[in-house]
Amino acid sequence: MRLLLPVLLLGVAGISQVYSVSPASPATAGDGGGACKNFSQVTQELWTNDLDRLSADDVIVNYQAQLSDRGNIQDGSPQRFFSYVNESRLTSPVYASFLPLLDNYNPVKNVAEVVTAEKLAEEDHFLDVIFATPVWQSVYEYLVCEGKVQDQAGLRTLFKRLWFDLYPRSGKSTILDTSGFEHVMVGEFKSLGSVNGMHNWLAFYEKEKRPAEPNINYYGHTCDVHPDTMCAAFDWDGRKKRLSSFLLNVSPAYDLAVYSLCFVMHRGTCNVIVDGQQKIIRTYSKEGHIATAFIVA
């Protein structure tokens, strides 16, 4: 007889939910009683453990025009933001399993996403890969200690609920047209004239390097230059976004790890340590899913 244990997922849809999963790890769940690592310490640990992060030599950027974050936005940068990316680094398992997910979504609002067996298999493979990284081992150990999940199966259930489960972007709609992953890691269209989400540097790069629409046309940056963060103004397929903030050079495993921790532990404004410096991440919920998550650049 297979023993099933309840896993308590706190803060999902405003209530506690219990999922039945089979024990898959010798880790012991805690109750957040004070023996766990400090949250800031864990976020710095994520940065240190991101072995797939690209170096400054692997990624060369061209900031060009600094634009106002108010008023109409115009193209002030004739060249691309990403001048060079060492694509040989993108063949590692984390990147190789992430890139196929970028074309799994329709960015148009109020158009239902199509779920296929192939897409689900790609998602599962990606989770297999990132959960084996040191970054996600840190996430797992911390969430177990805090009593948020009980084992690896519970972590997978939580991740899918927050990131991959579909929900309606519009408040009154019943059309399952978005997910936390699509909004944050891929980007989508808010309306005929504007872009929503896209808080991942690799998604930006992949769209910008296309030779023609629906590519990204980089307009300029709307915050001060910093080696780890960026806030870009751009046009994507005729739709504009004034400010899209993202962390530079980090692996998708890191992005999803730090956003997930903030959503579960400190939803709203979340203080984290990025490369030894304090930063703020903001996360918001929609029907218990991640509505958005981004770095305040």
Q: Give, in degrees to the nearest 5, the angle at Cα 140 between 283 and 267.
A: 15
Choice among 109, 148, 183, 289 that is catalytic: 183
Kindly state the DSSP code that residue 73 receives in the 8-state scheme: -
pLDDT tens by residue, 138-194 = 999 999 999 999 999 999 999 999 999 999 988 788 999 999 999 999 999 997 789
Alpha helical stretches, state H, 214-272: 252-265
pLDDT tens by residue, 48-78 = 999 999 999 999 999 999 998 787 889 999 9
User: Is the per-residue pLDDT at 247 higher than 70?
Assistant: yes
Distance CA 78, CA 240 (A): 16
**According to the model, what pLDDT value does residue 138 have?**
98
**According to the model, what pLDDT value does residue 72 have?**
84
Q: Give, in degrees to the nearest 5, the angle at Cα 274 between 271 and 279.
A: 35
For tokens 């030894």, the residue is: 276
User: Is the per-residue pLDDT at 7 higher than 70?
Assistant: no
User: Is the per-residue pLDDT at 4 higher than 70?
Assistant: no
Region label for 287, one of left (φ > 0), alpha (ψ between -120 and 50) or beta (otherwise): left
**According to the model, what pLDDT value does residue 287 have?**
84
- Integer CA distances (angstroms), 5 to 18, 19, 20, 94, 264, in order: 9, 8, 5, 30, 21
Q: Which residues are 289's β-sheet partners?
A: 286
- Integer CA distances (angstroms), 135 to 43, 142, 227, in order: 10, 11, 21
Whether 29 contacts 147, CB under 8 Å = yes
- Residue (of 244, 234, 248) closest to 201 by Cα position: 248
Query: What token pair was written down for 293?
Result: 């998550």
Rounded mean pLDDT of 118-128? 98
- 140-145: list long-range contacts, CB under 8 Å, 24+ apart: 140/25, 140/27, 141/27, 142/36, 142/37, 142/42, 142/261, 143/261, 143/264, 144/25, 144/27, 144/28, 144/29, 144/30, 145/29, 145/30, 145/32, 145/35, 145/36, 145/37
pLDDT tens by residue, 11-52 = 333 323 322 233 333 344 455 556 899 999 999 999 999 999
**According to the model, what pLDDT value does residue 30 have?**
53
Rounded mean pLDDT of 82-111? 97
**According to the model, what pLDDT value does residue 279 have?**
97
Choice among 199, 221, 240, 279 that is catalytic: 199
| 127-161 residues labelled b (16+ CB within 10 A) or e (exposed) | bebbbebebbebbbbbbbbbbbbbbbbbbbbbbbb
How many alpha carbons lie under 13 Å from residue 294 in its C-beta half-sphere? 21
What is the largest distance, in Å, between two alpha-carbon atoms of the chain?
65
Query: What token pair was written down for 245?
Result: 């903030």
For tokens 């984390």, the residue is: 94
Q: What percent of the chain has pLDDT over 70?
A: 89
Lowest mean pLDDT among 2-16, 56-70, 283-297: 2-16
**According to the model, what pLDDT value does residue 24 have?**
35
**According to the model, what pLDDT value does residue 192 have?**
79
Is 207 tagged catalytic? Answer: no
User: Is the per-residue pLDDT at 5 higher than 70?
Assistant: no
Is 266 tagged catalytic? Answer: no
Distance CA 64, CA 67 (A): 10
Choice among 109, 207, 240, 241 that is catalytic: 241
Is 241 tagged catalytic? Answer: yes
User: Is the per-residue pLDDT at 257 higher than 60?
Assistant: yes
pLDDT tens by residue, 197-223 = 999 999 999 999 988 878 999 999 999
State the CB neighbour count (10 A cutoff) for residue 200: 25
Average pLDDT, the chain: 89
> What is the domain partition of the chain in residue ranges?
5-296
- Strands ordered across the beta sheet of 229-236: 216-221, 229-236, 239-247
